[in-house]
Amino acid sequence: MKKYWIVFKKSLKSELIYRWAALWRILGAVLEFLIQIFLWRALLGTEAHNGVSFSDMLLYVLINSFMMQLTHTNVAGMIENAMIDGTVSMELLRPISYKGYLLSQMLGKNIYGSLTATVPVLLLSLFFLSGAVLPDFVHILLFFLSAILGIALLFEVTYLFGLTAFWLQRCWFIRFYLYGFQNIFGGTLVPIWFYPELLKTLSYWLPFRYMTFEPINLFLMKTQLEQAWIPILAAFLWLVGLSIADNLIWRAAARKLTVNGG
Amino acid sequence: MKDFWRLFTSFFKVALRREMAYRGTFLAGIIGQWISYGAAFLGLYITVSSFQVLGGWSGPEVLILYGLSLMSYAVGASFFFNFSNGLIGRIRSGEFDASLTKPIHPFLHEVFSAGYNVGYISHFTVSLAIMVLAFASLSYTPTVQSILFLISALLGASLIQAAGLIASSTMSFFSVGNNPIADFLLYDMKEFTNYPITIFPRGIQFVLTFLLPFAFMNFYPAAALLGKPIPEGYPAFLPYLSPLAGALVFTLSILLWNWGLKHYKSTGS
């Protein structure tokens, strides 16, 4: 565990250098949030639509963007680069699992950026959240459980998509598929509350909605306590199933790997 | 001028061959971008149609708005993305210095040798398909005038997109680090234009019209075509000025680039 903590800290430290970039990222995040505020003001006004209120939407945008930023990573690109310059053979020799290494690196790299981008937006949103109801204690606990599962699931799917880099020589396009599926089936762009029936039904059968959408539903208490076990169990089962799958794919990849020089 | 075309076509052929070397990747990339941009269109459509209207614009009308923006980006970026994105690397590695010794202007040499980016065919086709569908669902009857207007507006919009790419690359002459200011001005500010600008406060409408004229890319042309109101108090001929706005900011961006070039000091590698 200590090894992964070291990777996490190193990766975080290398991000802390870019102070100046952080300032502009904060401005960008604030601007993006303002756009969402104006958009949902124009759409919702002061009324609720399908049981969704303005403050629900703001909390949705906040939680969703924090979770997406925390897991923002291009595993396929990292593997591609490591294969081109040959460092992948070094990475395979490390006394640490490659998946765990990527996970700690991703969290270290993203935690600073997602916190600096979220905190100012959170402060700004306090002005608009006057009518919001905070969840009760049990819902908060369930939210954290489901959010941790969601983050793990997000990473798992990113990693699984990224592993295909071992078979494709160039793979800059993989992230487009990933983003597309996340946006269509995961409600990361538009909450699934507004989806037409067909898409809504489809989304239940894929892992994407359990990443950010179901945790948000728990935070907003839109999921009743009696039903809370369903999305949590589904996320857990997806996580187990995909871990088994990536393990098999990883073994095949390590066997297939040919390194160019290096 | 004849030399210009000869140079352009020979550089173009090289770029095309370079892309086509990885045919499978190229195809997989195009399909991936269809899915990813298709999702963006779908999301926008679901949002707006779930509420019927957004600031007086219906679902298909907002799709046209986003379609114009994406299509003009496809045209502008196919000529200027490689150039804009690659400049910083070429300066860092010292390759850029070779451009200074060529018998054509460094700007032209950079643009030509960076090459045409064929990949934007995916953005172009997806936005074209969505816009055709959207116009059809509005049962819009095109006239010769409206088609000519649309084409001229698209040209102006593509020049605005190109100007953004050129201006952002200018920063590389001053710093070879990340470029967060340009990202903020070009990408974050452009997000406003995914929606009708009339839903935003007047200050933002002013900035998007007169300071960073992104609204000429899609909002004003679409408003003219679909008969939508423009911000109150703005002159009624504004929606027809896209080509002019495009030519203006394109020229300004090249002047800015040349000004940056004057301050360029080689990294010496």
Give the chain B residue nearest A188 (alpha carbons).
B43
Q: Which residue of B50, B63, B120, B191 is the best one to mutate when testing the A interface, meaning the one whose CB has the most A CBs within 10 A?
A: B50
* Mean pLDDT of chain B, nearest integer: 88
Say if the Cβ atoms of A31 and B188 lie within 8 Å.
yes
Query: Residue A170's pLDDT band (boundaries 50, 70, 90)?
Result: confident
List the single range of A74-88, A130-144, B235-249 with lowest mean pLDDT: A74-88
Among A122-131, A208-217, B158-167, which is the least confidently predicted range?
A122-131
Task: Give the mutation candidate from A38, A49, A53, A65 for the B interface (greatest B CB count, under 10 A).
Answer: A38
pLDDT value at residue A114 = 85
Over residues A68-96, the mean pLDDT reads 79
Mapping DSSP onto H, E and C, the string for chain B reads: CHHHHHHHHHHHHHHHHHHHCCHHHHHHHHHHHHHHHHHHHHHHHHHHHHCCEECCEEHHHHHHHHHHHHHHHHHHHHHHHHHHHHHHHHHHHCCHHHHHCCCCCHHHHHHHHHCCCHHHHHHHHHHHHHHHHHHHHCCCCCCHHHHHHHHHHHHHHHHHHHHHHHHHHHHHHCCCCCCHHHHHHHHHHHHHHHCCHHHCCHHHHHHHHHHCCHHHCCHHHHHHHHCCCCCCCCCCCHHHCHHHHHHHHHHHHHHHHHHHHHCCCCCCC
pLDDT digits (tens, 9 = 90+) for A122-137: 888 888 776 667 788 8
pLDDT confidence tier of residue B250, bands split at 50, 70 and 90: very high
Question: Does A180 contact chain B (CB < 8 Å)?
Answer: yes
Q: Where are the domains of chain B?
A: 2-262
Per-residue pLDDT band at A23 (split at 50, 70, 90): confident
What pLDDT is stored for residue A262 in this prediction?
Answer: 42
Please report which confidence band the pLDDT of residue A260 belongs to, taking 50, 70 and 90 as the band edges: low
pLDDT value at position A209? 92
DSSP A260: -
Dihedral angle sign, alpha carbons of residues A179, A180, A182, A184:
positive
Mutate to test the interface with A, among B51, B58, B118, B122 (most CBs of A within 10 A): B51
CA distance B74 to chain A (A): 16
- How confident is residue A148, by pLDDT bands cut at 50, 70 and 90? very high
Q: Read off the pLDDT band of A214 (50, 70, 90).
A: very high
Is B232 at the interface with chain A, CB within 8 A?
no
Q: Which residue has the higher pLDDT, A74 or B166?
A: B166
- From B251's Cα to the closest Cα of chain A, the distance in A is 27
Nearest by CB to B184, from A24, A35, A168: name it.
A24
Contact at CB, B46 and A35, closer than 8 angstroms: no
**pLDDT, average across residues B92-99:** 83
pLDDT band at A16 (very low <50, low <70, confident <90, very high): confident
pLDDT of residue A207: 93
Q: Considering its fold, how many domains does chain A have in total?
A: 1
Q: What ipTM was assigned to the predicted interfaces of this complex?
A: 0.84
Convert the pLDDT of each residue in B43-89 to its tens digit. 999 999 888 889 889 999 999 999 999 999 999 999 999 888 888 88
- Give the mean pLDDT of B35-46: 93
B201 touches A: beta carbon within 8 Å: yes
Which pLDDT does position A132 carry in this prediction?
Answer: 67
Evaluate whether B216 touches B245 at the Cβ level (below 8 Å). yes
Those residues whose C-beta lies under 8 Å from the C-beta of residue A177, and which sit 6 or more positions away, are A161, B32, B35, B36
Partners of A177 on chain B (C-beta within 8 Å) are: 32, 35-36
Q: pLDDT tens digits for B121-148? A: 899 999 999 999 999 999 888 899 999 9
What is the least distance, in Å, from the CA of B120 to any CA of chain A? Answer: 13
pLDDT beyond 90 at B150: yes
The pLDDT tens digits for B171-187 are: 888 876 667 777 777 77
Domain carrying residue A102: 2-260
**3-state secondary structure at position A87:** coil
Q: What is the torsion angle, in degrees rounded to the nearest 10, for the CA atoms of residue B222, residue B72, residue A185 and residue A252?
A: 170
* Whether B22 and A170 lie within 8 Å, measured CB to CB: yes
Q: In angstroms, what separates the C-alpha of B59 from chain A's closest C-alpha?
A: 12
Q: Measured between beta carbons, which residues in chain B are less than 8 angstroms from residue A199?
A: 46
Tell me: pLDDT of A258 over 70: no
Among partner residues A38, A173, A177, which is closest to B200 by beta-carbon distance?
A38
Ranges A4-8, B151-155, B183-187: which has the least confidence: B183-187
Is the pLDDT at B115 greater than 80, yes or no?
Answer: no
pLDDT at B201: 92
- Which residue is closest to A177 within chain B, CA to CA? B32
B33, closest residue in chain A (CA to CA): A176
